[in-house]
């Protein structure tokens, strides 16, 4: 909608989604009974007076764009080359060729440029590939967007968005943060961060647990911490009510949900 500026989470699940088609755990069963508790794969947008900056076109992209009425996209920002964050890139082909009719800038880690060309050789002319310049703010309308390095095994970005007195750090996939990144997100208003696991962290070099994410928010003195990228099936299956109970005594923590908006 024109005249509004906000950051919106369009998806808040890890790779399998919630519910996962193959899983019958309590969290997935709950989401089947109540679709409002389902979660698409992680994706976000910055909405600026009718313009949209897309972060991570994952495999649920088409349904997300329809659900949240995203009609125009000005820039695309890719955090890393994993399917649950880039698997929807092909969905933008028809938008670019039939509607926009001009190349669309795609910001991505330099190490993801060749994988993109390998996966989508026919799309090389309709995307303008722009490698991340770590730590350098880019002006996009009334906000700046800065790519900051994350810890995720492969070259991976987080995104620092600054609007009118509001700062949002978005790290959907990371295992803690590099020292240089920690300094840049100190004191942010909103830290939206990987909280893939509720119990044991099966991949501590790539992901975080809910408790680790809460601790990180406190360490960087974030005003609000928003855990996201949930895999409710692993390692301890958890329902929405159980997740909420784990943060009830954390007044500065808000669980991410699909559609969540933060004003800019």
Asked if pLDDT for residue 238 goes beyond 70, the answer is yes
Q: What is residue 18's predicted lDDT score, i.e. its pLDDT?
A: 96
In a domain, 27, yes or no: yes
Mean pLDDT of 4-8: 95
Q: What is residue 235's predicted lDDT score, i.e. its pLDDT?
A: 83
Asked if pLDDT for residue 1 goes beyond 80, the answer is no
The burial of 22, by beta-carbon neighbours within 10 Å (0-12 exposed, 13-18 middle, 19 or more buried), is given as exposed
In a domain, 234, yes or no: yes
Q: In DSSP terms, which residues pair with 253 in a beta bridge?
A: 225
Rounded CA separation 4/223 (Å): 23
Mean pLDDT of 16-31: 95
* Structural domain span for residue 53: 5-255
How far, CA to CA in Å, does 142 sit from each of 88, 147, 169? 27, 17, 17
Which of 202, 254, 148, 225 lies closest to 16, judged by CA?
A: 202
In a domain, 262, yes or no: no
CB burial of 104-143 (b: ≥16 within 10 Å; e: otherwise) equals bebbbbeebeeebeeebeebeebbebbebebeeebebbeb
Q: The dihedral of CA 102, 143, 260, 219: what is its sign?
A: positive
Task: Give CA 150 to chain center in angstroms.
Answer: 13
* Each residue's pLDDT tens digit, 85-111: 999 999 999 999 999 999 999 999 999
In a domain, 264, yes or no: no
Q: Determine what percent of the chain is predicted with pLDDT higher than 70.
A: 99
In a domain, 87, yes or no: yes
Question: What is the domain count for the chain?
Answer: 1
Find the CATH number of the domain harbouring 82.
3.60.15.10
Rounded CA separation 67/49 (Å): 18
Strand-strand pairing, 138-140 and 143-149: antiparallel
Q: Determine what percent of the chain is predicted with pLDDT higher than 90.
A: 94
In a domain, 261, yes or no: no
Report the chain's mean pLDDT, rounded to a whole number.
96
Rounded CA separation 64/61 (Å): 5
Asked if pLDDT for residue 150 goes beyond 70, the answer is yes
In a domain, 260, yes or no: no
Q: What is residue 2's predicted lDDT score, i.e. its pLDDT?
A: 56
In a domain, 263, yes or no: no
Task: For residue 242, give the H/E element and its range.
Answer: helix 240-246
Rounded CA separation 248/231 (Å): 20
Cβ atoms within 10 A of the Cβ of 162, count?
18
């Amino acid at each position: 909608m024109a005249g509004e500026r906000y950051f919106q989470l369009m998806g808040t699940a890890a790779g399998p989604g919630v519910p996962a088609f193959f899983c019958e755990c309590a969290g997935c069963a709950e989401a089947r009974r109540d679709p409002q508790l389902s979660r698409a794969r992680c994706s976000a947008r910055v909405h600026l007076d009718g313009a949209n900056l897309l972060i991570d076109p994952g495999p649920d992209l088409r349904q997300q764009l329809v659900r949240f009425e995203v009609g125009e996209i000005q820039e695309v920002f890719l955090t890393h080359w994993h399917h649950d964050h880039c698997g929807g890139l092909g969905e933008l082909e028809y938008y670019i060729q039939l509607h926009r009719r001009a190349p669309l800038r795609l910001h991505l880690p330099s190490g993801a440029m060749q994988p993109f060309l390998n996966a989508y050789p026919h799309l090389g002319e309709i995307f303008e590939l722009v490698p991340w310049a770590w730590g350098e703010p880019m002006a996009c309308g009334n906000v700046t967007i800065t790519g900051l390095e994350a810890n995720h095994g492969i070259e991976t970005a987080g995104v620092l968005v600054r609007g009118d007195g509001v700062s949002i750090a978005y790290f959907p996939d990371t295992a803690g943060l590099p020292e240089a990144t920690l300094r840049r997100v100190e004191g942010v208003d909103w830290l939206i961060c990987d909280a893939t696991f509720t119990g044991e962290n099966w991949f501590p070099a790539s992901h975080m647990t809910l408790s680790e994410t809460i601790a990180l928010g406190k360490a960087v003195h974030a005003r609000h911490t928003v855990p996201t990228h949930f895999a409710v099936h692993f390692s301890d299956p958890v329902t929405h009510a159980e997740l909420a109970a784990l943060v009830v005594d954390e007044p500065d923590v808000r669980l991410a949900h699909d559609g969540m908006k933060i004003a800019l």
